[in-house]
Each structure stands twice: as structure tokens, then as C-alpha cells.
Amino acid sequence: MTVNGLTFDVRIGGPETGPWVLLLHGFPVNGSCYDQVLPRLHESGLRTLVIDQRGYSPGARPAEVDDYRLTHLVSDVIGVLDALGIGYAILVGHDWGGIVAWHLAGRYPDRFTGLVVGSTGHPSAMRDALVASDQRERSSYILDFVADGAEEKLLADDGAELRAVGITADELAPLREPGALTAALNWYRANFTGDIKATMACPPVEIPTTLLWSDADTALGREQAQGSGRYVYGDFRFCELAGVDHWIPQHAAPALASEIALRSTIF
């Protein structure tokens, strides 16, 4: 699909008359991270839309760092929904996809009937956690991601650093395409440098929301996840996954699919 002058790879599946579920991936794995989630949603009668977002779709890799600012990432998603004639959907995001999802829910509440986020808390809860918990230490890896030469470091020794944190060989393969990893890292460079507070500022969310957090996540702590309830002015459910690492879509697909299905029943 062509939106905002870029060509995005999208995947649609499930019953044609089912309620729409929009799923947004994070870093560094594209929409394939939801491969184990989708069949379960289809069995629940839900129709799914997965977008390989800006930088992850080969036809959507602009060259400038500023092209990856949150305003563009949010605009892409709304553009895809508009182009498909989707008036509203259940919104799902993990990791960076969660950040985009919070902003979508906060800025376009009339387009989404429910929100399910894996790992990533509301940006305001993240701001609070950076001051009042160990979240700043947990997030220190971002300095490496925005540094010059990050691509070479992450892909060295057959992608040893990424494989060490749980990225599989199949998930690593698309990142070897020319410009792919640079584009993915530009999400960090565009939004986690400069006036980060202004860039990440997100309205409170008023739609029913579920946040899944896994207690073996080394990058994102409990405080930013559980504290998100302060910024949801509606039903908020906090779901803790015991013994699960950061990669909730891949390693806790049944739990994620179940929570998405539960949110679909509210509407």
C-alpha cells in the first residue's frame, strides 16, 4: 500500500466480517513477530491487519533521520486505516509499536475501541519511572543505539549482540538488507535525541486499555508498566506474565491473543 509517498507491506487475515485488530511491531523485528498470535485471533473471529512500519517495509525507508519522528509514524498508521476504509479497530502494539499505539490512542480515540500494549508503558509513566526507579539504567542501551556505528556493532559476529537478547536467525535476516537496520535505529535517533520530553509527550488515553508486562524483561521495568494506569482515564487492566522475557508476541502468544480477544468483547 502507498501512504504518505511510501509503500508499506501489510498483511490482512481472518474472517471478513470480524472486528478489525491492528497490530504494530517494535524493534527490531517486523510484523512477523505476531505470526503465532494471528491464528489465535482468527479463531476468535477477529480480522487482523499487520503493518511493516516505516523503515521495516523495503519501500518505506526514507533517508533522513527526521523522517522517523513519531508524528510520521502515527500518520502512517492512520493513512493505512483510511486507505483501507477501516473506521475503527482494536489497537495492539509491542515495544516501539506500543509507543506508537499509545500516541494513536491518545490522539485518535474515536478510531480505536480498545488498546492492548505489550511491555511499553504510557510515555508519561515512562517519564515518571526514569526518575523514581531503575528505569534509567534499564534504558541505557539506547545510548548505544543512537551512536554512530551502531549498525556495524549490532551486526558484527553474525549479529551476536541481537542474538544474545533473543533475536532468531530468521528475524535477523531482514535487518541485513541494505539500509534496513539504519532505518530501524533511526526510530531511536529521531525520537530519543534533542527535546525528548516534547517529542514523546502523549495525551492520556480514554479507551479501555490492557498492558501486559513480563517480569523477565530487562529493558522495561514494572514501574513504567503498572504506573500507566494513572494515564488511562477508563478501564485499565495490568497483566503480569511470569517467567517471560521482553519478546511477548513470540514467547507468550497465547496470553497476548487472549487479552486481545477479551478487549474485543467490550465493544
Q: Does the annotation mark 95 as catalytic? A: yes
Which helix (H) or strand (E) element contains residue 236? strand 236-241
Buried/exposed 45-82: b ≥16 CB within 10 Å, e otherwise:
ebbbbbbbbbbbbbebbbeebebbbbeebbebbebbbe
In three state form, how does the secondary structure of 43-78 look?
HCCCEEEEECCCCCCCCCCCCCHHHHCHHHHHHHHH
Q: Does the annotation mark 233 as catalytic? A: no
Task: Name the catalytic one among 76, 95, 128, 245.
Answer: 95
Which helix (H) or strand (E) element contains residue 2? strand 2-3
How much helix, strand and coil, in percent to the nearest 5, is found in the chain?
50, 15, 35
Q: Does the annotation mark 188 as catalytic? A: yes
Task: Name the catalytic one among 188, 217, 231, 245.
Answer: 188
Annotated catalytic residues are 95, 188, 246
